[in-house]
Structure 1
Amino acid sequence: MEIHPDKPFSPACERNREPILAALRPHFADRRRVLEIGSGTGQHAVHFAAALPHLVWQTSDRPEWLPGIRLWLAEAGLPNTPPPIELDVRGPWPGERFDGVFSANTLHIMGWQEVEALFAGLPAVLADDARLTIYGPFNYASRFTSPSNAVFDASLKADDPKRGIRDFEAVDALAQSIGFKLVEDLAMPANNRCLSWQRRSAI
């Protein structure tokens, strides 16, 4: 099949999709509807939805990303990837409920107030037994886990001072504030982490 010339492509998504999928499998094995926040190019969505055909994978992002996501979904032609929805974490949020949420490489792109808005908005769209998995770089005790992450953080702040690698403890506190308990903190390639939480009502 000929690839659409306007279809966006992220080499990083191509590199990290298999390790992320391996991390997601046990947490999403019994899920039914997953909301991906910040789907970006749409590459992750088609890869994960194809590998996890038992669930509906709902993509979302800001308006400027939706055309590229649509191209990826159209080319893949999967039955479990509905059209992407417009979502800014500051609202409004979709009216549907999801029992899984996934987001990759988003928290360091958002300002901290947007990160807070993301967690504040989640309860309105989550089922009682929801699970949440977030992938990306994190600091621990306000320290970088590698020299390359320190360089990356500096480049993020050079683009926008509001950006930056987030402290695990601060993000976990936000998750706890909406009723989630951390169930896994998994080391990933390239100094990233995969953090998974379970809603306490289901524990």
Structure 2
Amino acid sequence: MSKDFFSPEQDGDRDKRLFAPATARNREPIAEVLRDILPETGMVLELASGSGEHAVHMTAALPHLYWQPSDVDPAHLASIAAWARHAQNPRLLPPMRLDARADDWMLTGLPAPVVAITAINLIHIASWDVAEGLITGASRYLETGGILYLYGPFMRHGAHTAPSNEAFDASLKARDPAWGVRAMEDVAALAETAGFAPPDIRSMPANNFSLIFRKLD
């Protein structure tokens, strides 16, 4: 279960870096999956990069790939930029403002083709039109064989996979009725309609899942 629907804390050093507690717990399990599925070269576009900590970790863990972080929140964009300055990794690009619902993601001037798009802990803390925009945009910008990677809690077969996820879902909906843990089948149906193969489903720690969608012809 993901308990952070994004609530990082500043460390007080005034460099604008934010810290999300869940990142330290899930970044390496996610990196293990990405090492297994991503190609040897290219660019990974991350939507809703949040604090930027995943971007820093993945760029170090996947030294053959560029990483393009993005977000819509000004504080998050500032944090990502601060983390990038701190990391000093030339393959970690400056963050871009990107709303998944936009018709044009403005993906120009990138140093490598986008081979994968990731969204970590996004679609349960956003309205459903964000999931629709994410998957439609991924279908638009990925070539055949490109990967859409989603991570987070999901319902399966009409039920939560753990009592803690059910409680988490209720807490999300109390904050915003448009939020909530999504049904895996609904997400898969949306992706398949957009031209992706059925997902490779991998169980992750703390009752989360990795959903790996590959773009078809």
TM-score tier, shorter chain, comes to: over 0.9
Spell out, residue by residue over 1:86-126, the C-alpha distance to the aligned partner (whole angstroms, 9 max, x if none).
Answer: 01111141234511111100000111122112212223322
Matches within 5 A, 1:86-101: 86-91=97-102, 92-96=104-108, 98-101=114-117
1:31 and 1:133 mapped to 2: Cα distance? 17
Q: Does 1:82 align with 2:93?
A: yes
Aligned partners of 1:94 and 1:125 also within 8 Å = no
Matched residue type, 1:68: S
Aligned partners of 1:34 and 1:102 also within 8 Å = yes
2:149 counterpart SS class: strand
Compute the displacement of 1:160 (Å). 0.2
Matched residue type, 2:47: I
Matched residue type, 2:170: A
Matched residue type, 1:46: V
Match of 2:68 in 1: 58
1:133 counterpart SS class: strand
Compute the displacement of 1:3 (Å). 8.3
State which of 19, 22, 37 in structure 2 corresponds to 1:9. Answer: 19
1:59 counterpart SS class: strand
Q: Which runs of 4+ in 1 moved over 6 A?
A: none
State which of 48, 51, 55 in structure 2 corresponds to 1:41. Answer: 51
Q: What is the TM-score of this pair, normalised by structure 1?
A: 0.93
CA RMSD after TM alignment: 1.6
Spell out, residue by residue over 1:110-144, the C-alpha distance to the aligned partner (whole angstroms, 9 max, x if none).
Answer: 11122112212223322232111110000012210
Aligned partners of 2:139 and 2:196 also within 8 Å = no
Spell out, residue by residue over 1:9-42, the C-alpha distance to the aligned partner (whole angstroms, 9 max, x if none).
Answer: 0110011111111111111143411100110000
Match of 1:23 in 2: 33
1:71 counterpart SS class: helix
Q: Does 1:102 align with 2:102?
A: no
Aligned partners of 1:134 and 1:195 also within 8 Å = yes
For these two proteins, the number of residue pairs brought into alignment is 200
Compute the displacement of 1:198 (Å). 1.0
Spell out, residue by residue over 1:126-179, the C-alpha distance to the aligned partner (whole angstroms, 9 max, x if none).
Answer: 223211111000001221000000000000000000000000000001111121
Matched residue type, 1:95: L
1:143 counterpart SS class: coil
Residue identity over aligned pairs, in percent, reads 41
Match of 1:150 in 2: 166
Q: What is the TM-score of this pair, normalised by structure 2?
A: 0.87
Gaps of 5+ in 1: none
